[in-house]
Chains A and B, each alone.
Chain A
Amino acid sequence: MAAVLSVAEVSKSFGAVQALNKVTFEANRGECIAILGENGAGKTSLASVLMGLYQPDQGQVALDGTPCELTNPSVALDNGIGMIHQHFSLVENMTALENIQIGLPAAKRTQRALRDVHGICSDFGFDVDFSAKVEDMPVGMKQRVEIIKALYRNVSILILDEPTSVLAPTEVQPFLDEIRVMVAKGLTVLLITHKLEEIVQAADRVLIMRHGRIEGDLVVSETETHQMSSLMMGSGDTGADLSQKVLKEPGRSISNETALALSSVSVVTENGVRLLDDINLEISKGEILGVAGIDGNGQRELSEAICGILEITEGVIVLDGTDITSQTISERIETGIGFVPEDRHAEGLVLSLSVAENTAIRTIQDPKFKNGGFVNRRAITSYADDLVAEYDIRPGDPSLPASALSGGNQQKVVLGREIETASRLLVVVQPTKGLDVGATRFVQQKILEASRRGVAVLYISTELEHVLEVSDRVAVIAFGRISGVVDPTTTSSQEIGMLMTASKGE
């Protein structure tokens, strides 16, 4: 029997970037294949080719042995290929049932046909409220809607793009179990991920990608995880290096001088919604306080309240004994607060400006960047040169526009700039979002270095693993409240999972 899917010598480039380089593999019925790789390794590009979103420059895709031209997403769907994107492809202000119907032929939209949707739900044990609007749903349910949408179209190949990145730790295991149920029912699942433990739990085979090539096509049960990671990182890195995760020196001493103190801080919207609800936190000099939580529980508001972007309704914020509650953003920057926002494209950088301009943009009032009343270009360039060298930003030319850099290097620009600004406090939000393992480690090391100089660090992230790695203490945020503060060396993911979902009043 021919393979359900066979990809032969597929290449795709974007300008000078070779996103896919002669990719070849096969997938069978009832098999889960993990696709592992760093950012920019070509995982998502490969998926986009299979979905008909990108047209390959060369090569061929065959389904059940028949060559197929996947010219657009509807052709891919007609051929039984469905994909769940990292960012859901759902229309927010429509109901689940409406979303499922979009693009279907009339015969599948009758009341009678739609009854099958409920059948799919009970088959796979999904719990979905079909009359609810998608915008009112929790993330886990949106993901189920996406999967049902695909299954109702009778897909035989389901591509999942980093599906667990949006889930709470307690939701991950049930989700991986559901993947096994789908595979047992004969589906072919392509699981794009960079989490090795998920591959071990859910996948039969793993394709390891690097620089657009397939570096390995291995059977998961016969492969050690460090072998996967060394293939993913390339020959320069050994797998052993990566699994070594202890970044902070154990038992490091932290001064008992308080740097940042938030007392009874609340942010209430005009409609009475409490985005932040009675937050009390203290960070000592040189301490890294991690903030863990499911996305959208007040992390963003907390960071913005501290940095002065969001005005607080109640409470007091004190930094090194000075009340900064009513200070403006620029005053806070001068005081020595560095801020790495979550969205580096929208908030961290001006993509059309050069790297050099971006490094100076937050502190352009600094006398060192001024020459009389004018901007001192030379000072900016030399400052940027130093930053580029120290943070190993590539390509190492600060006159390039920020948009020319890869995501990891863009993050280094923001991080470098903010760490230099942060003489007292560094607030980082999702600093490793979308970064590969190497860049993540680098970023974390730089943050640790800052803390060693006595800078207090607030490390906000939904990547629990990373929070636990770097933090001295971890506060868990849920529904705008701090539901608990735990010691990362002694806590368990169950404990944190409970705190993350702790509702008010508990």
Chain B
Amino acid sequence: MFGFDAALISDVLASSVRLGTPIAFAALGGVFAERSGTYNVALEGGMLSGALGAASGVFITGSVFAGLICGLICGMLTGLLLGGLVIKLRVNQLVAGLAVNILVAGLTAFGARLVFGDMAGGARVEGFSTMEIPGLSSLPVIGSAFFMQDPLFYLLVVVGGLSWWWLFRSNAGLDFRAVGENPRAADVAGVRVFRMKYVALAISGALAALGGMHLVLSQVYVFTEGMSAGKGFIALAAIILGRWSPAGAIAAALLFGFFDAVQFKLQFSNPDVPYQLFLILPYVASLAALIFLVGKTRAPASVGTAYIREQR
């Protein structure tokens, strides 16, 4: 095994952040959805649609920025599709979320063949490269983890901060949380409940898409089918572990990223042990964290239920 050395810790931390960022974006999106009263099980689908959107955008236009916009739009559409199912048609949220995931998995696989043609799965696209923050990046241990990342990670930090401020310090955020806790109370107080719920899912889808875009634009520079590989579901656990707060969800996601990074290190350093054993680690960690670390904070009261105004 390996001993303690600063370089190794620094290395593990840096890859934790890199591996945790997609989960963090999705978890942040999930916080918005659940705070508005909807379980967004379609985070996984949001990530995939964002990933394909970004890859095709860049592939067709050659501009990373265009890819970003394209991915965001795909994510929002995924969120709004879920919204239409659960808000308008009042389909069970878990069923609708799973349905969207399956639909998006199929559509993105098909879309990838349309866009990349014969190259599907092998079409490399432009992306972001590491952006060093001068001064801070040379800090020992944490420097490379937090200040030598790609632009999307910095975006995550900014969006996370803004989300916290908006949810807990702004007037609209108070209304928004009221919708998730007690939609009738918000409705009779004059909040546009249905609009809020749709907006929440559009934001949620866009954030999940950013997670998928991080995979394409900052990690592997290529779109592959099913590349989100369950990260959208780990994000669901991160929401609960993070107690429905933006900072908490991001921290929880980075923790899962950390276990993923450790898992990789263990794989490489122990080639004799079947690697599947190490692959379990992030999932065991998320289960254990949910069991031992969750406190008294409860989910937004109305989450999972459809709001029906004319209910007798």
Contact = CB atoms under 8 A, between A and B. Distances in A.
Nearest 5 CB-CB pairings of A with B:
A74-B190, A103-B189, A103-B190, A89-B185, A103-B191
Interface stretch (A91-99, A224-232, A318-326, A473-481): A91-99
Contact of A102 (B178, B192, B310): B178
B181 A94 contact: yes
B185 A102 contact: yes
Contacts of B192: 74
Contact of B181 (A14, A73, A92): A92
Interface in B158-204: 171, 174-175, 177-178, 181-182, 184-192
A29 interface: no
Contacts of B184: 89
8 contacts: A77-B188, A77-B189, A89-B184, A90-B182, A92-B301, A101-B171, A103-B189, A106-B171
Contacts of B178: 91, 94, 99, 102-103
Given A102-B175, A103-B186, A103-B191, A53 B309 contact: yes
B188 A51 contact: yes
Nearest to A88: B185
Given A94-B178, A101-B171, A14 B188 contact: no
Contacts of A104: 171, 189-190
A54 interface: yes
Interface residues on B, range: 20 to 34
A109 interface: yes
B191 A14 contact: no
A179 to B, nearest CB: 20
A78 interface: yes
Interface residues of A, number: 28
Contacts of B171: 101, 104, 106, 109
Contact of B185 (A51, A55, A90, A109): A90
A85 interface: yes
Interface string A34-55: 0000000000000000010111
Interface in A152-175: none
Contacts, number: 71
A412 interface: no
A55 B309 CA distance: 10
A373 to B, nearest CB: 34
Chain A contact surface mostly: loop
A93 B168 CA distance: 13
Contact of A53 (B175, B185, B186, B310): B310
Nearest to B172: A106
A431 B130 CA distance: 69
B188 A85 contact: yes
Contacts of B174: 94, 98, 101-102
A53 B190 CA distance: 11
A89 B182 contact: yes
Contacts of A99: 178, 185
Interface in A16-37: none
Interface string A292-308: 00000000000000000
Contacts of A53: 187-188, 309-310
Contacts of B186: 91, 102-103
Given A101-B171, A102-B175, A91 B185 contact: yes
Interface string A430-443: 00000000000000
A441 B124 CA distance: 79
Contacts of B177: 91, 94
A243 B181 CA distance: 43
Interface in A229-271: none
Interface in A44-71: 51, 53-55
Given A54-B310, A74-B190, A103-B191, 11 more contacts: A53-B188, A72-B309, A73-B189, A74-B191, A89-B189, A91-B178, A91-B186, A91-B301, A99-B185, A101-B171, A102-B191
Contact of A149 (B189, B191, B301): B189
Contact of B190 (A73, A90, A93, A106): A73
**Residue with the greatest number of chain B CB neighbours at <10 A, chosen from A14, A73, A83, A92:** A73
Contacts of A149: 189
